[in-house]
Amino acid sequence: MVGTTLPPEEWLDPEAIKLWEAGKTDVALSKIIVEMIAANPEFVGKNHSMSESGIKRARKRLGLQGPCQARASGAHDSIPDLIRGLRPAYPTMGARDMVVLLRQEHHIKISE
């Protein structure tokens, strides 16, 4: 089997961030990235690919943590302060929308 290489970081990073902010899991991220690589003429014949482990390494490098990782690193301790800061700007926002806002603006992924 021929070895594969990761796509360039300058292409991968914005795509991974966009998909992570959309709430995609690592498995879904890797499948979508592989499809995007196959559809991109720039990568034809260069043998680029992306596995679930590659996505995890990219997320770690970018500082995009999942719920368990954030809890372990203590990032969840700052969530009440963030919500108190956001509440005056969004007084009628519900819990589900607040979770989406935290993920999009502060890169904090929490369960609902």
Q: In angstroms, rounded to a whole number, what is the distance separating the alpha carbons of residues 98 and 91?
A: 11
- As a whole number, mean pLDDT of residues 97-101 equals 86
The pLDDT tens digits for 14-45 are: 988 888 888 788 888 889 998 988 888 888 77
Q: What is the mean pLDDT of the chain?
A: 82
DSSP H helices, 9-111, are 9-21, 26-39, 52-62, 67-73, 79-86, 95-106
Residue 62 — φ and ψ, nearest 5°? -85, -10
- As a whole number, mean pLDDT of residues 73-92 equals 81
pLDDT of residue 71: 67
pLDDT of residue 75: 64
Nearest alpha-carbon partner for 74 in 98, 102, 108 = 108
pLDDT of residue 1: 41
Q: Are 83 and 94 in contact (CB under 8 A)?
A: no
